[in-house]
């Protein structure tokens, strides 16, 4: 993927922003002790947080690799995007259950953006 293309630059920046946002969110929630599931379901939430932080790290890594124009960046981007797509669907369900619709809309937007960039990346890498 050539970073000089709009797709490369957009995917790289998007991936870094998503990665920083998710890692930052979890660090903030952990520091402020705002994770109520730690009392009820500590093992479940530890696995969940670990998965999302790994997704964030991969997203940051893929964004950097895309920006410095290494082909591995596109492949890691697809992996981190798949993890992101799963996470936002799961999170949207969590917030829909609580009727917090603004977060459902936020996650739907991220779902659309991640899916679209993934499809274009696949088409760009294959061709």
The pLDDT assigned to 5 comes to 83
The model's pLDDT over 89-110, given as tens digits with 9 standing for 90+, comes to: 999 999 999 999 999 999 999 9
**Confidence at 3, pLDDT banded by 50, 70, 90:** low
Q: Is 62 exposed, middle or buried (0-12, 13-18, 19+ CB in 10 A)?
A: buried
pLDDT tens-digit series, residues 23-75: 999 999 999 999 999 999 999 999 999 999 999 999 999 999 999 999 899 99
- H or E stretch covering 5: none
Report yes or no on whether pTM surpasses 0.85.
yes
Q: How far apart are CA 84 and CA 53, in angstroms?
A: 11
Q: Cα–Cα distance between 127 and 117 in angstroms, integer? A: 15
Mean pLDDT of 72-85: 96
Distances (CA, A) of 83 to 41, 51, 55, 60, 86: 22, 8, 6, 13, 5
> What is the rounded distance in angstroms from the CA atom of residue 75 to the CA atom of residue 55?
14
Q: Quick one: average pLDDT of 12-32?
A: 97
pLDDT of residue 125: 83
């Amino acid at each position: 993927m050539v970073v000089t293309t709009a797709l490369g630059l957009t995917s790289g920046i998007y991936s870094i922003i998503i990665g920083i946002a998710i890692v930052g969110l979890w660090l903030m929630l952990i520091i402020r002790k705002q994770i109520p599931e730690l009392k009820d379901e500590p093992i479940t939430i530890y696995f969940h947080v670990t998965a999302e932080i790994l997704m964030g790290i991969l997203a940051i890594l893929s964004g950097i690799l895309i920006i410095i124009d290494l082909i591995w960046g596109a492949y890691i981007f697809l992996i981190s995007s798949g993890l992101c797509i799963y996470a936002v669907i799961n999170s949207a369900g969590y917030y829909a259950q609580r009727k917090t619709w603004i977060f459902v809309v936020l996650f739907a937007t991220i779902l659309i953006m991640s899916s679209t960039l993934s499809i274009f990346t696949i088409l760009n890498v294959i061709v």
